[in-house]
Amino acid sequence: MQLSTYFLETFGCQMNVLDSQLVEGQLRALGLRRVAIPREADLILFNTCSVRQHAEDKVLSRLGQLKHIKRDRPHTIIGLLGCMAERLREGLFELNPHLDLICGPGELDRLPELLGRVDESGKPIAAITGLQTRRLVPAERSLLDDPLETLDLSRRPLPGDSIMQSYVRVQRGCDKFCTYCVVPYTRGAERSRPPGNIVREVQTLADAGCREVTLLGQTVNSYAYREGQTPMRFADLLRLVHEVPDIDRIRFVTSYPADWDDDIFRVMRDHPRICPYLHIPAQSGSDRILKAMKRNYTADSYLRLMDTARQYVPDIALAGDFIVGFTGETDEDFAATVDLVRRVEYKQIFVFKYSPRPGTAADRSLADDIPQDVKARRNNELLAVQTAIMERQKRALVGRTVEVLVEGYSKAARRAQKDAADSNGSLDPENPTTSPLDDVAASKANQLIGRTPQDIITVFPGDAAHVGALVAVRVTDASALTLFGEIESVVSPAKMPANPGT
C-alpha cells in the first residue's frame, strides 16, 4: 500500500524537536504529506520522552486512543519513536497490539527502510540501539561515516518551513549518569559531532534565512572533538560558529556546572552575536543531595561559577532546572535549594518533582520516599520564590530599550484574527477601526511576540512586515514572565532567503 499522509506529534526536549524535523524531511522525501489530525493519516508517529513517568503516561494514553483508528482503518501504520521506544522496547507491543513500529533515537536514519518493511510484511518491527551496538563508538573514532551524521546533514529547509530559529546538534548522548536520569540509557554514550559538519549545517540554515541557532547537547561544555593533534573544545566551536555570516544570534543548551572552562565566558564576552544566556541546571542547593545525584559539584562551587559568569558577562541571564523531592530530601535540604535560588536570581527556572526511572542508579538503590504532597508543596514554594524575583527583574526593565527578534503574532493575536475571520469580517491589523472587533480584541490582533538576547518574551504591537526582523522595543510594562512595549525602530529588517530549498 502506498503511504501518502502522516501525523507526527513530538514530546520531550529540544533534541526531540530536532529529530522530528529530520524525520519530517525523510517522510517528505518519500512523498508523504503532513496532516493535522491522526484520523486522516496513513502513518501516525509519536516522538516520545522518558525523562519522567508523566511524559510516558501521556504518550501511552494517546497511543490507547488510536486503537479505534486501527480498527476502522487497519492499513494505518502506528509508530513510537524516541527515548520511550528505546527504553521500553518490544515490551510495548505486548500492551499495545495496534503498534506497528518502535524506533529508538539512535536508529532514526533507518526509518524509511523500517517503514517499507512494516508496510510490506504487515508485521511489527523494533529498531533499538541497546547498549553494545554500532552506535556506541568511542569518542575518538571518526563520525564521518556515522549514518546519524548523514541524517543530521540531510536537512534541506523548504520555503514555508519556519527556520528563522533553528536547532543544531553538537553532541549526542550523555556520559554523566546523574543517578536520577534516564537519558544516558536512551540516547547512549556522549559523542561530539565533527566541527566541520556543524558549521556546514549552520551555513545551510543561514543561507535559507535562519537568524538564530541554538546549539544542542545534554552537556554542551563537555564538547570535545579531536582531529589530528589539536583537540577542539566547546569554546573553540563557539568561535567557529560565530564566523558564519548572517547568523544574528547564537545560543547553546544545556550547560553542565562541573568541568567548566572559563574560556567559554571569554568567548561569550568577546563575540557579540553569542547571546548572554546560560541554561545551567543546579538541580539542588544541598550538597548532600547533589552528592546523591552524582552531580560532581557543590552548592558553593556552583554559586562561585554563577558569580564568574556575571563578572565576564554582566548582563547574562541565567536559567536552571531543579528537582524537588529527590530521595531523602529533608526540609533542610529543600531550604538550601530555596536559598540558592534566592542567591542566583535566575531569569527563569524549571522545577520538576522527582520521578524514579527504572534502571537508573537512584531507582536501584534508593527509595522514592518523599510523599507526592510534599513534592507538590516544595514545587510550588520554589516557583513562588522565583516569581517574586522575576517580577522584580522585569520591573527594572521598564523604560529601557531591548532588542527583539520578532517571531510572529502572539497567540492572543492569532485567536483575535481567527475570531474576526470566523465572524466573516476582514481584519486589517493596519487599520483596526475597520474591523468588526471591539477595541480590546483589535488591539490584540496586531500583537507581535519575540525574544530578547536574554530570552525574555516581549509583546508589542506591529505588523506582518516586522515578523523576522530585529527591532528595538521600548519597554512600557512588565509581568513576571513577559515584557510589554512599543517598537522604537527596526534594527534589521526581515530576511529574504537567498536561495530557498538548496
What is the binding site for ligand SAH (CB under 6 A)?
51-52, 180-181, 183, 218-219, 254, 256, 281, 283, 321, 323, 352, 354-355, 357
Shortest CB 322 distance to ligand SF4, Å: 12
Q: How many residues of this chain interact with ligand F3S, rule: CB under 6 A?
A: 13
Among 49, 148, 445, 469, binds ligand F3S (CB under 6 A): 49
Shortest CB 164 distance to ligand SAH, Å: 25
Closest of 379, 384, 288 to residue 332, by C-alpha: 288
| Closer residue to ligand SF4 (CB): 184 or 408 | 184
Closest of 199, 201, 187, 189 to residue 150, by C-alpha: 201
Shortest CB 363 distance to ligand SAH, Å: 8
Residue 323 binding result from ligand F3S, ligand SF4, ligand SAH, none, given CB thresholds of 5 to 8 Å by partner type: ligand SAH
Residue 355 binding result from ligand F3S, ligand SAH, ligand SF4, none, given CB thresholds of 5 to 8 Å by partner type: ligand SAH
Please report the sign of the dihedral spanned by the C-alpha atoms of residue 414, residue 416, residue 418, residue 420. negative
User: Grid coordinates representing 270?
Assistant: 568577546
Residue 321 binding result from ligand F3S, ligand SAH, ligand SF4, none, given CB thresholds of 5 to 8 Å by partner type: ligand SAH
DSSP 408-462: EE-HHHHHHHHHHHHTT----TT-GGGSSS-HHHHHHHTEEEEE-TT--EEEEE-
Number of H helices, E strands in the chain: 18, 21
CB–CB of 254/217 below 8 Å? yes
Q: How far is CA 484 from the centre of its chain?
A: 25
| Closer residue to ligand SF4 (CB): 55 or 181 | 181
**Integer Cα distance of 129 and 108 in angstroms:** 10
| Closer residue to ligand SF4 (CB): 216 or 306 | 216
Shortest CB 175 distance to ligand SF4, Å: 8
**Integer Cα distance of 57 and 156 in angstroms:** 34
**Integer Cα distance of 104 and 131 in angstroms:** 12
Residues 163-222 contacting ligand SF4, CB under 6 A: 174, 176-178, 181, 183-184, 218-219
Residue 12 binding result from ligand SF4, ligand SAH, ligand F3S, none, given CB thresholds of 5 to 8 Å by partner type: ligand F3S
Alpha helix positions (H), 79-134:
83-88, 91-95, 111-121
**Integer Cα distance of 436 and 440 in angstroms:** 11
> Which listed range, 9-17, 63-71, 190-198, 228-236, lies at the site for ligand F3S (CB under 6 A)?
9-17
Among 3, 7, 8, 15, binds ligand F3S (CB under 6 A): 15
The angle subtended at Cα 469 by Cα 467 and Cα 471, nearest 5°, is 115
| Closer residue to ligand SF4 (CB): 171 or 410 | 171
Task: Give the type of residue at 85.
Answer: A
Binding pattern for the stretch 171-200 against ligand F3S, x by CB under 6 A and - elsewhere: -----------xx--xx-------------
Q: Which residues bind ligand F3S (CB under 6 A)?
A: 12-13, 15-16, 49-51, 82-83, 182-183, 186-187
The residues of the shown chain that bind ligand SF4, judged by CB under 6 A, are 174, 176-178, 181, 183-184, 218-219, 256
